[in-house]
């Protein structure tokens, strides 16, 4: 088990002595206020294993006296917020879940690549109007995947999310609930490009996607999120958002299969 110590705390701050597990990593110490903030951001829930000095072993957060009542209140507030906003496709931070949704993630990435392809095509129309990149499907796929590796980190850093993830109510955050920095988003994009979509090569991508899907199902995290110590959470999909998703998927299918 690896160990990450983040013990630099201002002297006036509450004592930081809580640790929690992310996969096989021990993260901390954190103060009680920080633990509750992480819970509100969806990075910690009642099933997260926690430990503090004086405890004989790791225990579920719901079994720890200092945590179970605040976490119960946060979960109740999140469920109320989710019910209130579900009809309009809204969701609150407290209603997020870390349950695995491989297909939502895959569809979100398809939407992102589609948006990236549009942006790249628009740029090339001005920079190199005679280019024939998009005349060949394989070449276009490779170029768009590579382009998105560069573009995604800045989109993530500037807007806090990508179009596909926003549409499918997915968020990727740091352990403390903050948005990704450009360097973190770039490292993640590179790992997804290499180990998730196999740089866009059809046969390789089938293998890498199948492997990533299996890993996500088994361990609850992809290799790129685990290496970056990142938290992926999913908000509920309301009726309005589902309608928007169906429309977006139909547009992607039309662009992929309808000849120009």
Is the predicted pLDDT of residue 49 greater than 80, yes or no?
A: yes
Where does a domain end: 88, 112, 143?
88
Where does a domain end: 88, 108, 140?
88
Tokens of 99: 């349950």
Residue 223 backbone dihedrals phi, psi, to 5 degrees: -65, -35
pLDDT tens-digit readout, 84-109: 444 333 344 444 555 678 888 998 99
Tell me: do 54 and 155 sit in the same domain.
Answer: no
Q: How far apart are CA 21 and CA 12, in angstroms?
A: 26
Distance of CA 207 to the CA centre of its chain: 22
Question: Is residue 174 a contact partner of residue 230, using CB atoms and an 8 Å limit?
Answer: yes
Q: How far is CA 99 from CA 1, 127, 141, 173, in A?
A: 23, 43, 30, 15
Tell me: do 82 and 149 sit in the same domain.
Answer: no
Tell me: do 76 and 116 sit in the same domain.
Answer: no
Q: Looking at the 3D structure of the chain, how many domains does it have?
A: 2
Strand partners, 19: 51
Mean pLDDT of 191-215: 92
Is the predicted pLDDT of residue 206 greater than 50, yes or no?
A: yes
All residues at 6 or more sequence positions from 237 whose CB lies less than 8 Å from its CB, including other chains = 89, 168, 169, 245
CB 191: neighbour CB atoms within 10 A? 18
In this structure, are strands 25-31 and 3-5 parallel, antiparallel, or unpaired? parallel
pTM (2 decimals)? 0.63
Tell me: do 121 and 228 sit in the same domain.
Answer: yes
Tell me: do 112 and 227 sit in the same domain.
Answer: yes
Q: Which is higher by pLDDT, 250 or 25?
A: 250
Tell me: do 54 and 102 sit in the same domain.
Answer: no
Full residue range of the structural domain in which residue 13 is found = 3-88
In this structure, are strands 49-51 and 16-22 parallel, antiparallel, or unpaired? antiparallel
Tell me: do 40 and 160 sit in the same domain.
Answer: no
CATH number of 55's domain: 3.30.1490
* Residue that has been written with the tokens 């998009």 in this structure: 134
Where does a domain end: 49, 70, 88?
88
Tell me: do 148 and 19 sit in the same domain.
Answer: no
Tell me: do 62 and 113 sit in the same domain.
Answer: no
pLDDT band (50, 70, 90) for residue 257 = low
Strand partners, 21: 26
Mean of all residue pLDDT scores within the chain: 79
Residue 91 backbone dihedrals phi, psi, to 5 degrees: -155, 150
Strand partners, 59: 50
Tell me: do 26 and 126 sit in the same domain.
Answer: no
Q: Give me the pLDDT at residue 190, please.
A: 96
pLDDT tens-digit readout, 136-154: 888 989 999 999 999 999 9
Tell me: do 55 and 145 sit in the same domain.
Answer: no
Q: How far is CA 141 from CA 116, 161, 180, 188, in A?
A: 11, 22, 26, 19
pLDDT band (50, 70, 90) for residue 130 = confident
Tell me: do 116 and 65 sit in the same domain.
Answer: no
């Amino acid at each position: 088990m690896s160990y990450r110590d983040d013990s630099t705390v201002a002297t006036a701050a509450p004592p930081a002595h809580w640790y929690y597990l992310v996969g096989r990593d021990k993260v901390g110490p954190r103060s009680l206020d920080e633990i509750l903030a992480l819970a509100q951001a969806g990075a910690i829930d009642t099933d997260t294993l926690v430990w503090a000095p004086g405890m004989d072993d790791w225990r579920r957060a719901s079994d720890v006296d200092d945590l179970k009542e605040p976490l119960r209140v946060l979960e109740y507030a999140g469920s109320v917020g989710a019910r209130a906003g579900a009809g309009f496709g809204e969701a609150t931070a407290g209603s997020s879940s870390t349950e695995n949704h491989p297909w939502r993630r895959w569809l979100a990435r398809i939407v992102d690549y589609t948006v990236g392809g549009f942006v790249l095509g628009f740029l090339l129309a001005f920079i190199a109007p005679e280019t024939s990149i998009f005349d060949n499907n394989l070449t276009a796929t490779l170029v768009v995947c590579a382009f998105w590796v560069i573009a995604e980190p800045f989109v993530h850093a500037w807007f806090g999310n990508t179009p596909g993830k926003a549409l499918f109510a997915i968020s990727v955050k740091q352990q403390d609930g903050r948005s990704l920095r450009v360097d973190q988003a770039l490292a993640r994009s590179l790992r997804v490009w290499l180990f998730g979509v196999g740089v866009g090569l059809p046969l390789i991508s089938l293998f890498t996607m199948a492997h990533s899907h299996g890993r996500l199902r088994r361990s609850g995290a992809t290799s790129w999120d685990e290496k970056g110590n990142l938290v992926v959470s999913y908000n509920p999909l309301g009726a309005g958002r589902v309608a928007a998703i169906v429309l977006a998927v139909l547009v992607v299918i039309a662009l992929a299969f309808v000849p120009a």
